[in-house]
Every structure is written in C-alpha cells, then in structure tokens.
Structure 1
Amino acid sequence: MSTPLIALENIRQRYSDRTVLEIDNLEFQSGAIIGLAGPNGSGKSTLLRLLAFLESPAHGTVKFLGIPTQARSAVNRQVTLLVQEPYLLKRTVYANVAYGLRIRGKNDIPAKVNRALEIVGLDPAAFAKRQWFELSGGEVQRVALAARLALKPKLLLMDEPTASLDSKSAGLIHDAALSARDEYGASLVVASHDMAWLEAVTDHIHHLENGRIVRTA
C-alpha cells in the first residue's frame, strides 16, 4: 500500500488540563473523501486543526507523506481548511479568489480564478466583479471554497460546509467537493452534522465521541 497522505500516531490533544482528542492510529489516503461525524464537542474541529497543521498535538506524531510534520510548516501550503463561517477580504470576488495565488507567485491567475468559480457554480462573468457585501451566505461559502480550490491543495478540509445553507447551495458544495478530487486529485476530510450529505459524498465516515473514534462506517 502507498504511503498515506497524512497519518496520526498516538495523538493526544489537551487544552489546559483537559484532554479533548485521543487517537491511537488514523490514516488518510490520497484521493479519499472522508467524513467526520459526532456531536458538538466530540473533537471534530480539533482533529481538523491538527490535520491542517494549525496546531501541534500535546503528544504524538502527525506525518505528511510519511514525514513527521509540525504546525506552521511549509506543508501548510499543501493543506487548506474551509471553516464553517469563512472570512472574505473586503474586496471583489475575483480579488478574494486570486489572493492566495498572488502571494504564491502563480501564473495564469485569471484562468485559475475563473475555473475555481465555475467549479463552485458561480459564473465568473456575473460574479468576478461583485463586492464581498453583495453576496448571500451560500455565495460567501462558495467564494471561500473557490479561493481554496484555486490553490489545488493536496488536502482540503471542510468544517460544517453546508451548515445554514439552502439545499441548492449545499448541492453545489457537494458537487464542488467531488470536482476537487476528480479534477485536482485532492483528498477531502469533511466534518458535518448532515449525515445525508456525508453519506452521499464520502467514501467512509469516522464517528467521534468524547474525542475518540468510536465507529467507522
């Protein structure tokens, strides 16, 4: 079997003196779409932050392509996290999607921005020049996702991506998630309370309770 994209070994995460996550072994293969389910406080968001290399565990090792990796490393540019309530720059849609590409010195930025907008179901001709305050909640979520897809991450992490969205927007997020794997080869980890959405889009689902994986389906 090939080397996992990310592997967690003997993970313990603590905040103050409270242990919030205990995972002995967990692997995410390249190209997989994995769901995380569980009640609030079960450890889903903490696990996503570890996978995004936004924080390091109190104990244990997180490996990226077999190499032990710490938070805030260069790997961060290959992993991106879409939070439940994403923040947009106070700029146009185009500027928001292009921002990460510009700071990375990428070429062909207009083409990359347009394709990312198309993947999330936003017509570039209609949306590229819109200001951030002209967008609905579902459109904000899709612009934020487009900004991440434009970077072609190896791992896309999504925290409650369809919360408070109408069914049309949720469906477009669903389609964009599949496109990220099919077009860019990205792996996805999606945390959500929406079990129907997870069952439709993921290869399998890890169920968490009290910081532990209690079941995988």
Structure 2
Amino acid sequence: MSSPIIKLDNVQQVFSNRTVLSIETLELGEGEIVGLAGPNGSGKSTLLKLLAFIDSPTSGVIEFCGIPTSNKPGAVHRQATLLVQEPYLLKRTVYANIAYGLRVRKKNDISTKVHNALVEVGLDPNSFSQRQWFELSGGEAQRVALAARLVLKPKVLLMDEPTASLDTKSAQLIRTAALNARDQYGTSLVIASHDLPWLGEVSDRTIHLEHGKIVEIT
C-alpha cells in the first residue's frame, strides 16, 4: 500500500457509555479505494465521520499526512468530504450549491469549475445550473451533491451508501465520477455499501465491520 494519508491508532468512539467503534489500527493510502462492508449498526457511518474529520474520537489518535488531526483541526477538515445517502443541498440554485465551497475557499474561475463539475456527474450545465434545489429528482440531487464535493478536488472522498436509493443511471454516473476523481486527482476513496460485488470490483481492499470492530479485510 502507498504511504498513508490517514492513520488511526487505538481509536474508540463511545456514545452514552456504549462503545460503538473500536479500531486498533487502520491506514488509508493515497489514491487507494477502500470498501466498507457490514450490517446496519456495525459502525460504518461512525467510522466515515471520523475519517471525514466531522467527529473527533473519544480516545485514540487520527493522523492526516503524519500529523495528528487534533493539532490542525481546521486545516485537515477541508481535505476530506463525505457524501451521504440522503443528499443535503442548500436552498439555492444548482450553481450556487456547487460554487459555495469554491467561494468559501476564495477560488478563481468559479464558473468554469462549476461547469466542469456538472459535466463530470452527467448533468448538462446549460439545463441545470439555474435550477432550484427543489426542482431536482433524487438522483439529480445526489449528483449535484457529489459535484459540489468533486469541484473541490478533495484528497479524501468518503461515500456512505451513495447509490442505495437511486435509479440505475444516476447510480452508475456517481460510481464513474467517483472513480474518475481517483484517476484524475489521486483522490482516496472510502465507500460504504451493501453492494458487495461492486465493492469487490472497484476496491483495493474491503474492510468488514461487525459491532464496531474490524473482523476481516479482503
């Protein structure tokens, strides 16, 4: 495996005196695709939130590029992004949703970047840029949510059942766009899914969780 971009060491997450995740050690390599498998309640979503730096562990150390994330919480938070099953969009146009992160980061050439991001997820920029969030189907909304993440060229893209409730076309476009991000930008991918054949096809390895612990790596 390539050098780790994220490393977990003796990480535990406890809610209401109950340990929901206990990981002795886990490394995510640069440009690696890791699948996460396990039944509901096995700890997949909890682990993804830790890897996305949304939550901090109850105990243990998470390193990003060799530096504990507790030392630079703001800097590392923008290096990883999480796409969940139910897309969250701002109550704005498609263009404004995708441009938001670029504006926060004070990036240039925003229009071109938004245009390219829409193309990456299979949405026509001329047709969709000015649509409102409520005018989108479920599959379209998920693709806009992914475009809003891909436009930032994150070092780590985490996906929590990203295609579970989508039509076949949208699901395939999301899968393709995520893999293209790895190929084009070297983005590391962590994908939680019940679709084990797909995980086996695209992942460098699949981590199987049960009761918050790693029980197998295939």
Q: What is the TM-score of this pair, normalised by structure 2?
A: 0.96
Other-structure match for 2:44: 44
Q: Which runs of 5+ in 1 are unaligned?
A: none
- The letter of the residue matching 2:18 is R
Alignment partners' CA distance in 2, 1:125 and 1:207: 42
Aligned partner of residue 7 in structure 1, secondary structure: strand
Other-structure match for 1:18: 18
- The letter of the residue matching 1:75 is V
Structure 2 matches for 1:1-217, cutoff 5 A?
Answer: 3-70=3-70, 72-217=73-218
Alignment partners' CA distance in 1, 2:198 and 2:136: 24
Aligned partner of residue 78 in structure 2, secondary structure: helix
Q: Is the 8 A contact 1:138 1:169 kept in 2?
A: yes
> How many Å apart are 1:101 and its aligned residue?
0.4
Alignment partners' CA distance in 1, 2:64 and 2:2: 13
Alignment partners' CA distance in 2, 1:173 and 1:155: 16
How many residue pairs get matched?
Answer: 217
Alignment partners' CA distance in 1, 2:32 and 2:86: 24
Q: Is the 8 A contact 1:53 1:73 kept in 2?
A: no
> How many Å apart are 1:128 and its aligned residue?
0.9
Aligned partner of residue 157 in structure 1, secondary structure: strand
> How many Å apart are 1:167 and its aligned residue?
1.4
> How many Å apart are 1:127 and its aligned residue?
1.1
Aligned partner of residue 139 in structure 1, secondary structure: helix
> How many Å apart are 1:134 and its aligned residue?
1.1
Aligned partner of residue 34 in structure 1, secondary structure: strand
Query: How high is the sequence identity, in percent, across the aligned residues?
Result: 68
Alignment partners' CA distance in 1, 2:93 and 2:2: 41
- The letter of the residue matching 1:148 is R
Which shifted more, 83-92 or 102-111? Answer: 83-92
Deviating runs (4+, > 6 A) in structure 1? none
Q: Which runs of 5+ in 2 are unaligned?
A: none
Alignment partners' CA distance in 1, 2:138 and 2:28: 30
Alignment partners' CA distance in 2, 1:110 and 1:99: 11
Which shifted more, 43-52 or 116-125? Answer: 116-125
CA displacement 1:174-205 (0-9 Å, x = unmatched): 10111111112111101111223322322211
Alignment partners' CA distance in 1, 2:135 and 2:8: 41
Which shifted more, 24-33 or 124-133? Answer: 124-133
Q: Is the 8 A contact 1:92 1:131 kept in 2?
A: yes
Alignment partners' CA distance in 2, 1:124 and 1:197: 29
> How many Å apart are 1:133 and its aligned residue?
1.1
Alignment partners' CA distance in 2, 1:192 and 1:62: 23
> How many Å apart are 1:82 and its aligned residue?
0.8
